[in-house]
Structure formats: C-alpha cells, structure tokens
C-alpha cells in the first residue's frame, strides 16, 4: 500500500509531503492545476523514464520519494535482486539535468529492477494502461489470476521448460549423430593416422632438445675432450706436487695442512676425470639414432599441422574422434533413450496444459458473469463481456489464446475489447474487470486516472460506489472531477495552482471536513451549494 509521497522541485510543485490512508482516496481540483503531476510522479516511482523538463525552473534537481508497505512476494523480489528484505520500501528518484538515479531503501537500482519490484505493489490505470487489455499475455494472466490458477500455471511452465530442454538435447544429439555418420569413414582414417604415430604429451619438445644436442655433437666432443685432457694434465701436475710436498714433510711438519689440501684436490681431479670420461662415452651414439629422431619429429609435426597447432591439440582431437565414433556406435540406443525422455516430458506438459485449459474455461465463465454484473452497476446495462478461446500450438503459456469480447448493446456484434472506441466505455470495462479481480490480484494499490471521462449523473454515483467497494480490497486512489465520486472517498486531497509574481506554484493538501464541504460545493458549480455538498457527504 502507498503510505507516503514526497515531491520536491517537481515541475510546479516546490514541495509536498502526502500521507495516505487505506481505502478510497481522491484528488480533485480545477482543470490546469496540475492533478496529472500526481500520476506522473507515481509513474516515476514505478520505473518510468524521466526528463530534465520535470525539474522545477531554477532548481538543480527534482526529488520523488514514496514509502510503500511490502508484502511477502515483494520481499522475495528484493532478495532476488540482492536487496535486504524489509516491511517498508522507500523508493526514491532523483532527477538532474544530466541523469536520473533510482534507489530502493538507499540502494541504487536500475529502472528495470524498480519496475519489476514496484509493479507488484502499485498499478496505475489510465487511458494508456486500459490498453494493456489489448495484450494477449495480460488477458491470459487476468483469467489465471481470477481462477486462482497461478500455481498450476507455474507448475505447467516448469514442465514445459523441461520438455523444451529435453527436446533441444534430442535435436542436438540427432544433428551430431547425423554429421558424424556422414564423416564416419573420414573420422576412422584420422583415428588410424594418429594411432599410427601414437604421440606422447610433450614428446616433440623432448625430441627437439635431443636433436639440438646431437647436431652439435662434434663440437661438443671436441670441447669435452679438451676439458678431459686438461684435467688429466692437471692431475699429473698435482700428483708430482703431492710427491714433492710429501718429501718436504720430513723436514717441516708445518706443511701438513698444505699436503692434505693437495690430497683432496687430487681426489677431486680424479673424480672429475672419471665423470668426463663417462660423459665422452655417452656421446657415442648409433649412426641411425639422429635419423630416427628426425623422422619421429617429422611425423609428429605432420600431425600437428593437420590437427594442431600443438601436440596437445592433436591429442584432444584424437579424444574427440574417439567420442564421436563411440556416439555413432551407441547412438541408436542413446537416441531411443532421449526420445523416450522427450515423450514423457511432452506428455506431462500436455497433461498439465489440458488441465490448465479446462480450468481456464471454467474461470472465464465465472469471470464473465462477475464482469457483466459490474457492467450493470456502471450503467452499461446493454453491454456484455465474455472470454473467447482459440487453441494454439503448445507454448510457454499452454494451448490457450484468449480474447476479451464485448458488445455494447444486444444487437451489436461481439468485438474484441481493443476495438471499443469510447474511452469512457473502455475505462468502465477495465474497472469492471478489476472489480471482478478484487481479492485476487497481488497489487495493493490501484490508481485511476480519468476513470470518470465522459461520465456524469447517476452513472457517476454508480462508478463511485464501485470504486468505494473496490477499496475494501485495495487502496484505491482516484483523480476525479465528479463530486458524486469524491463524496464516497475516505480521504480527500485538493490540488491548487497559485501565481506569485512571475512564478506558478502547485500545492496539494489534505482537506479537513469543513474544507471538504467547500471543495464539494465548488465541484457542484455553486460555492453556495453547501447543503447539497453536505448531503452528498452524508453529513
């Protein structure tokens, strides 16, 4: 329910703060005072796009802020968008010349998020909104809401989604097998070609390293031989030095540490000589080893050119070929399994769609009865309403395509509601449908703009009575110029326009009982008609 609305620097409104009660609320005022600003501001609360022209001249920004009570469904919506659940929702729009910003409970949100969340709480019904009845999905939702079929519809939608997913899997697998069958011989050739080489991961890099070493073998042997010769010479020299120092020890024992160091150096050179000798022997290779390595690398690179560019790509392609050939060999069996899954999923979706269709038709009959009763109350006694059904292919909403048909008098043909020419008639059909949906729809607040267009006299009273009755299930906010409607409201606001110097201001204020009598007298066209105004108000 809409609890509060605050406007600041919004078009002609410098500042206004309104508190709303449950039930029936009306806004009245002279033509041109700015009553439409209320509807405009609430559309912004619901996520409508803004423009800099909505900022009051001379101000830097406009503020629209609404406080709305939140139901359980909306709390789940908040969680869906990562927002903290709350019992109250503070919606804020800030409009500047450069951009517009939107907030929910101080968290910045997109207009799409704002629209999805707020539309669960407030519905604005104006000339534009009446034409939502022209949308097939809205008509179907109306029937489902009236018939308490939303849970069944959700169950069906899940079944339909499962069916579509399984069908997509089947079609994808069929296409895959079809393509694989066309290429089976070629796939087997590729498999045999790769298996003939039997590549090992990283093998190409290892061979290239070996070839690099082998191709420089002669130079490597020369250098290693030279190192070996020099070590041997050094070993011979060290042995001679060791012998001389050993003799010198007979004359001076202080040379003992040096002799020990020479001994260690001798051992180290001996080990180094042995290791170099082993290394030189390792450089002796079979004459055909280099050729074999080159041939192996050539075979690997040929595979890499065809299936690479890397050896890992070749191996991945090999695994894919094996899987494709395996799918071909087991494809028929798997295909049968998938077809059975699709059949079962389709049967379940069709079963639920048939149940949904049957219950929709039952609900549509009752909806028509309710709407026709309300049409009589709205002085459209010759008018009739009914729901027509056409069967279509299974879709996300089932088999049904519904249309709302109306006739404005007994001899008139049935026509789609979209073809109703009179805005006043269309608004009353809309109201009758909303009245039939009372206690069924999720929105907490209904806001009517121009609902009384082309209405007067006794029809106006009946219209007001129906709005008041509707307000027992919803908060109903109505912009009206008819005293018969305004008299039935629980809460009454007046919109006034004042000129101060060269500036225009729009003011909105809640009326007390005395002010309300005066406003009703003005609406009656005779400020002195206070007695009539009091009678209308039941005072």
Which residues on neighbouring strands pair with residue 475, listed in sequence order?
Answer: 445
Tell me how far apart the alpha carbons of residues 276 and 378 are, in angstroms, rounded to a whole number. 113
SS3 content of the chain, % helix, strand, coil (to 5): 60, 20, 25
Q: What is the average pLDDT across 145-151?
A: 91
Q: Is there a contact between 377 and 388 (Cβ–Cβ < 8 Å)?
A: no
Taking only the tens place, the pLDDT of each residue in 368-394 is: 999 998 888 887 778 899 999 999 999
The whole model's pTM is what?
A: 0.61
pLDDT recorded at residue 381? 77
| Integer Cα distance of 65 and 7 in angstroms | 7
361 exposure class (CB count in 10 Å sphere: 0-12, 13-18, 19+)? middle
Residue 441: what pLDDT?
61
Q: What is the mean pLDDT of the chain?
A: 86
- H or E segment to which residue 3 belongs: strand 2-10
pLDDT of residue 209: 84
Please, what is the Cα angle at 291 between 288 and 294, to 5 degrees?
150
Give pLDDT tens digits for 314-356.
999 999 998 888 877 777 778 889 999 999 999 999 999 999 9
Average pLDDT over residues 170-191: 85
The tally of CA atoms less than 13 A away on the side-chain side of residue 522 is: 15
What's the CA gap between 534 and 539, in Å, rounded? 5
User: End-to-end distance of the chain based on CA atoms, in angstroms?
Assistant: 29
Length of the chain: 539
pLDDT of residue 356: 97
pLDDT in tens, 448-461: 876 777 677 777 88
pLDDT at 401: 95
19: in domain: no
Structure tokens at 152: 């069944």
Does 530 reside within a domain?
no
DSSP notation for 258-282 = HHHHHHHHHHHHHHHHHHHHHHHHH
Does residue 228 lie in a domain region? yes
For position 446, what pLDDT does the model report? 85
Q: β-strand 445-449 against 122-125: which pairing, if any?
A: parallel
Range of the domain at 245: 184-327
Q: Can you tell me the mean pLDDT for 190-205? A: 92
Q: Which of 505, 468, 427, 498 is nearest to 25 (CA)?
A: 468
Residue 421 has pLDDT above 60, yes or no: no
Structure tokens, 118 = 């707020």
CB 20 within 8 A of CB 510: no
Residues 476, 492: Cα–Cα separation, whole Å? 12
Hey, how many other C-beta atoms are within 10 angstroms of the C-beta on 351? 12
- Any domain includes 195: yes
Cα angle, residue 215 at apex, residues 211 and 219 outer, rounded to 5°: 140
Asked whether residue 374 is assigned to any structural domain, the reply reads: no
Q: Is residue 311 part of a domain?
A: yes
Whether the CB-CB separation of 445 and 123 falls below 8 Å is answered with: yes
Task: Report yes or no on 522 lying in a domain.
Answer: no
Burial class (CB in 10 A: 0-12, 13-18, 19+), 90: middle
Residues 52-92: pLDDT tens digits? 999 999 899 999 999 998 877 677 777 777 777 778 889 99
Residue 526 has pLDDT above 80, yes or no: no
| Angle, in degrees to the nearest 10, between helices 423-436 and 311-377 | 100
Q: Is the pLDDT reported for residue 291 higher than 90?
A: no
Query: Cβ contacts of residue 469 below 8 Å, gap of 6+?
Result: 435, 438
Q: pLDDT-derived band of residue 362, with 50, 70 and 90 as boundaries?
A: very high
pLDDT at 126: 61
342 closest CA partner among 172, 155, 164? 164
Q: What confidence tier does 418 reach under pLDDT thresholds 50, 70, 90?
A: confident
Within-domain flag for 283:
yes
Is-contact 12 56, C-beta < 8 A? yes
- Nearest one of 36, 34, 32, 28 to 520, comparing CA atoms: 28
> Residue 401: which H helix or E strand, with range?
strand 398-407
Token pair 């997913």 in the structure block, residue? 165
CA distances from 333 to 169, 177, 326, 455, 456 (A): 15, 12, 12, 70, 74
Number of domains in the chain: 1
Looking at residue 131, the DSSP 8-state letter turns out to be: G
- Residue reference for tokens 């007390």: 512
Q: What band does 47 get if pLDDT is binned at 50, 70 and 90?
A: confident
CA dist., res. 438 & res. 197, Å (int)? 77
pLDDT at residue number 424: 65
In this predicted structure, what is the pLDDT of residue 443?
65
pLDDT at residue 179, rounded to an integer = 79
Confidence of residue 286 (pLDDT cuts 50, 70, 90): low
pLDDT on residue 423 = 63
CA distances from 358 to 74, 150, 353, 354, 531 (A): 30, 14, 9, 6, 55
Q: What is the pLDDT of residues 476-516, one digit of tens each?
A: 999 998 999 999 999 999 999 998 888 889 999 999 999 99
Indicate whether 402 pLDDT > 60.
Answer: yes
Task: Please give the share of the chain, as a percent, with pLDDT higher than 70.
Answer: 95
pLDDT band at 249 (very low <50, low <70, confident <90, very high): confident
Q: Residue 124: its pLDDT value, please? A: 76
Q: How far apart are CA 318 and CA 308, in angstroms?
A: 11
For residue 127, name the pLDDT band (cuts at 50, 70, 90).
low
- DSSP letter at 414 equals P
């Amino acid at each position: 329910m809409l609890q509060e609305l605050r406007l600041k620097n919004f078009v002609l409104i410098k500042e206004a703060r309104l508190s709303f009660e449950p039930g029936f609320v009306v806004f009245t005022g002279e033509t041109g005072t700015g009553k439409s600003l209320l509807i405009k501001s609430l559309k912004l609360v619901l996520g409508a796009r803004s423009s800099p022209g909505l900022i009051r001249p001379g101000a830097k920004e406009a503020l629209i802020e609404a406080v709305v009570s939140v139901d359980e469904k909306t709390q789940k919506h908040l969680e869906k968008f990562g927002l903290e659940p709350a019992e109250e929702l503070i919606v804020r729009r800030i409009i500047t010349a450069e951009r517009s910003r939107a907030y929910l409970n101080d968290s910045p949100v997109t207009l799409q998020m704002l629209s999805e969340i707020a539309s669960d709480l407030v519905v604005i019904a104006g000339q534009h909104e009446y034409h939502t009845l022209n949308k097939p999905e809205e008509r179907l939702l109306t029937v489902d809401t009236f018939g308490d079929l939303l849970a069944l519809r959700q169950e069906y939608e899940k079944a339909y989604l499962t069916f579509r997913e399984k069908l997509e899997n089947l079609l994808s697998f069929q296409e895959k097998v079809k393509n694989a069958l066309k290429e089976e011989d070629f796939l087997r050739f590729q498999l045999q070609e790769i298996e003939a080489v039997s590549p090992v991961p990283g093998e190409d890099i290892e061979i290239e390293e070996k070839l690099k070493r082998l191709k420089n073998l002669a130079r490597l042997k020369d250098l290693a031989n030279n190192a070996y010769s020099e070590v041997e010479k050094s070993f011979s020299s060290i042995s001679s030095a060791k012998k001389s120092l050993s003799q010198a020890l007979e004359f001076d024992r202080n040379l003992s540490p040096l002799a020990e160091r020479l001994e260690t150096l001798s051992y180290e050179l001996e080990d180094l000589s042995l290791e170099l000798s082993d290394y030189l022997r390792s450089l002796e290779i079979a004459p055909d080893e280099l050729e074999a390595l080159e041939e192996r690398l050539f075979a690997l690179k040929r595979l890499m050119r065809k299936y690479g560019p890397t050896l890992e790509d070749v191996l991945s392609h090999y695994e894919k070929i094996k899987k494709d050939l395996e799918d071909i060999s087991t494809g028929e069996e798997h295909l049968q399994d998938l077809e059975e899954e699709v059949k079962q999923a389709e049967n379940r979706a069709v079963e639920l769609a048939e149940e949904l269709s049957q219950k929709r038709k039952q609900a549509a009959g009752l909806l028509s009865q309710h709407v026709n009763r309300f049409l009589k109350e709205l002085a459209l006694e010759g008018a009739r309403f009914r729901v027509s059904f056409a069967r279509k292919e299974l879709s996300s909403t089932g088999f049904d395509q519904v249309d709302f048909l109306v006739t404005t008098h007994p001899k008139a043909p049935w026509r789609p509601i979209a073809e109703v020419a009179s805005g006043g008639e269309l608004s009353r059909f809309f109201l009758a449908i909303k009245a039939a949906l009372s206690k069924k729809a999720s929105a907490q607040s209904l806001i009517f703009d121009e609902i009384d267009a082309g209405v007067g006299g006794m029809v106006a009273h009946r219209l007001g009575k129906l709005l008041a009755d509707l307000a027992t299930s919803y908060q109903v906010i109505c912009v009206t110029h008819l005293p018969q409607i305004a008299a039935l409201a629980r809460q009454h606001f007046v919109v006034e326009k004042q000129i101060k110097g060269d500036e225009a201001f729009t003011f909105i204020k809640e009326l007390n009982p005395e002010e309300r009598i005066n406003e009703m007298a003005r609406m009656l066209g005779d400020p002195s008609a206070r007695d009539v105004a009091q009678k209308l108000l039941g005072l």
